[in-house]
Structure 1
Amino acid sequence: MSSIIGKNIIISIFGESHSSAIGVTIDGIPAGISIDMAELIEFLGRRAPGKTSLTSSRKEADIPSFISGIKDGITCGTPITAIIYNQDINRADYNIVSDRPRPGHADYTSHIKHKGFEDFSGGGHNSGRLTAPLCVAGGILIQALSKIGIEIFTEIVEIGGKNNKFDEVIEKAVKSKDSVGGIVRCVVKGVPAGYGDPIFDGIENQISKIIFGIPAVKGIEFGAGFESARLKGSEMNDEFYYDENDEVRTKTNNAGGILGGITTGMDIIFQVAIKPTPSIALRQNTIEYKSKENTIIEIKGRHDPCIVPRVLPCIEAGVAIVIADFMREKIANHS
């Protein structure tokens, strides 16, 4: 079980890509929060595979079964546990992985860490399949945050180095038996100033921690990000002013809505780098554990040529968990 422990909310995810089920336990959500199940299932559908010809052909409904913590669509204040049963399982596609690690995957590192006893089918516990239960938790908290005026948006900035015609870029990768990655921008609106902590428990720290829990994430930057290293202080600094409602605002938002790990009241803005899907149809060099020889691997199975479109709800879910953790008291008072 993998857990992220906040100040108030604990999220624990369990299962493997091709196990009978995957799931999540969420501890710390206040009682009295109503959940729109139709809205939650629609949210999960954005992440689910098999929706278009440009995603994995694996068919999973991703309908969660809640076994605790929710009664008549309202949170009870006790731990919420949800299970998603895997339906389209095919372990045979991964038999070769038992002896030949796939380049770019966690096959080799898991093999070393777990001494050969790891579940390697579809990446096991390291699989992107485990973002489904993450989205269950985040989807619930997105609804809770919406009730207190906080909204989360994501958009694709680029795929394969291009900032438009994304489908064409992905289709080209498919034809060449390859894959592409991309960049996603996330904006969180409505978070007041004063949430977060300095040094190790800052908003940036906690967002980064959970976002890196999404397989394929290789980088994150807030506000001006790496571009800030090229700016002068006079260019980087966000100057303060009072708006017509006597609210403190800044003329620019190079800080991405966070200073000293604490929210400024401006939009929280960050970008995430997503690497190309490592499972590609091209022949690749690898090793063979038993013979201790260099060899070739040809990866079979069903894989996304680009994971970027399906990552959007995962990022929204992750940041919702972090913001809700810091704002639990306000959420509880509103329920």
Structure 2
Amino acid sequence: MASVVGTSVRLSIFGESHSAGIGCTIDGVPAGIPIDMDELQAFLDRRAPGRSDTATRRREADAPTFLSGILDGHTTGSPIGAVIENADTRSGDYAGLRTVPRPGHADFPARMKYGNWHDVSGGGHFSGRLTAPLCVAGAIAKQALATQGIEVVAHVSSLGPEGIPDEPLNELELDIAQVAALRAHSFPCIATDAAARMEAAILRARDELDSIGGVIECAAYGVPVGIGDPMFDGIENRIARLAFGIPAVKGIDFGAGFCASYLTGSKNNDPYTIRDGQVATETNNAGGILGGISTGMPIVWQMAVKPTPSIGQKQQSVDLDRMEPAELAIKGRHDPCIVPRAVPVAEAACALALLDLMIEDGRFKYPAPRR
């Protein structure tokens, strides 16, 4: 399985949803980066299950044990190894899924690819549970980028069939008030009324034994101009590769994205100006990227997250052993909407991609030697 990503910073993720544990190794993180473990755990708690009525009732501490790479509160430069124990598993809920696959899940193609040897419990290696070690790596990347003056922020920008909207992130500069609002809410929205409406929509879907999806907007502020490459190694390519590793992500766009195709060139182009003695743009339809290279403006992108495929309603499937139609009633504990818990995962993917590029391009300012 292709569970390794990165060029200068290499991330490898291992484990399954119901295995003894899950974890990661991260190679290439510079030595001397201060790591605040309380801040790291708070980041993981934003993704962890069982924290609200809008999430699965599976309860996991998601407290990583670091085996290497961090000493005296700083990275050592050697590979960072982390393990998270899986404690609250109910593998019996997934009996029979080798024979009758879940619509919307990887059960059927995985059976065909791996000869039915794969782990089906909780989705195995295809599960969103594997985003926990991704967030471990992303939390470290975020703290490394903070030493360079780069801040990565995300929120739920719209949710459900109604497209309930939140206030968009500032596309021109970091808005401290927006960040404060996000940190003040238990639900990852900027506007209080949007958070309340979204929570209510998720609870309705749960009561109807159904699920809903949504869109997450993510922005990186403080990225210097000139990071990235054209063609196949641009910022879009790097972020998209990591983001598409998040289960349930079905679409990515940058800046104005698909909406740019409905604009004229005169409306889509971002006029240049001078702001605080620096070249800047008056708008940011490009999402801070041109030719795969950062423009110095905020990197702004969105990812579309599909509705959770595991729902309580009966669904039509097939019996793969008998090769005949079958009705499926899914058991287990599942999120009626995974979008809120995917917000820190979007930040993690973005931070890892940018840290990888900063180091690769020689733009990362290394800490001073220890004395």
Task: Specify if TM > 0.5.
Answer: yes
1:45 pairs with 2:76? no
| TM-score of the two chains, using structure 2 as the length reference | 0.88
The aligned counterpart of 2:210 is: 178
Q: Which consecutive unaligned segments of at least 5 residues does structure 1 have?
A: none
Question: What is the letter of the counterpart of residue 46 of structure 1?
Answer: R
Question: What is the letter of the counterpart of residue 75 of structure 1?
Answer: T
1:201 deviation in Å? 0.3
The aligned counterpart of 1:242 is: 274
1:319 pairs with 2:350? yes
The aligned counterpart of 1:61 is: 61
For residues 20-68 of structure 1, the C-alpha deviation after alignment (integer angstroms, 9 at most, x for no partner) is 0000000000111111011101100000000011110001000101111
Question: What is the letter of the counterpart of residue 22 of structure 1?
Answer: I
The answer on whether the counterparts of 1:27 and 1:78 sit within 8 Å (CA) in structure 2 is yes
The answer on whether the counterparts of 2:31 and 2:367 sit within 8 Å (CA) in structure 1 is no
Aligned length: 334
Q: Which consecutive unaligned segments of at least 5 residues does structure 2 have?
A: 166-193
1:330 deviation in Å? 4.1
SS in 2 for 1:96: coil
The aligned counterpart of 1:126 is: 126
- 1:56-95 aligned within 5 A: 56-95=56-95
The aligned counterpart of 1:196 is: 228
For residues 185-233 of structure 1, the C-alpha deviation after alignment (integer angstroms, 9 at most, x for no partner) is 1111000100000000000011011001001101111001001101111
Cα distance in 2 for partners of 1:331, 1:265 equals 15
For residues 166-191 of structure 1, the C-alpha deviation after alignment (integer angstroms, 9 at most, x for no partner) is 01111111111100000111111000
Question: What is the letter of the counterpart of residue 162 of structure 1?
Answer: I
**Identity in percent:** 52
The aligned counterpart of 1:16 is: 16
1:289 deviation in Å? 1.4
Given candidates 255, 258, 261, the residue that maps to 1:229 is 261
Cα distance in 2 for partners of 1:208, 1:219 equals 9
1:98 deviation in Å? 1.9
| TM-score of the two chains, using structure 1 as the length reference | 0.98
1:332 deviation in Å? 5.0
The answer on whether the counterparts of 1:31 and 1:332 sit within 8 Å (CA) in structure 2 is no
Given candidates 220, 226, 246, the residue that maps to 2:252 is 220
The aligned counterpart of 2:299 is: 268
* RMSD of equivalent CA atoms: 1.1
The aligned counterpart of 2:182 is: none
Question: What is the letter of the counterpart of residue 330 of structure 2?
Answer: I
For residues 224-282 of structure 1, the C-alpha deviation after alignment (integer angstroms, 9 at most, x for no partner) is 1001101111111111122232x110111100000000000001101111100000000
The answer on whether the counterparts of 1:4 and 1:210 sit within 8 Å (CA) in structure 2 is no
1:331 deviation in Å? 3.7
1:70 deviation in Å? 1.4
The aligned counterpart of 1:299 is: 330
Cα distance in 2 for partners of 1:116, 1:309 equals 32
The answer on whether the counterparts of 2:248 and 2:308 sit within 8 Å (CA) in structure 1 is yes
1:35 pairs with 2:67? no
1:255 pairs with 2:257? no
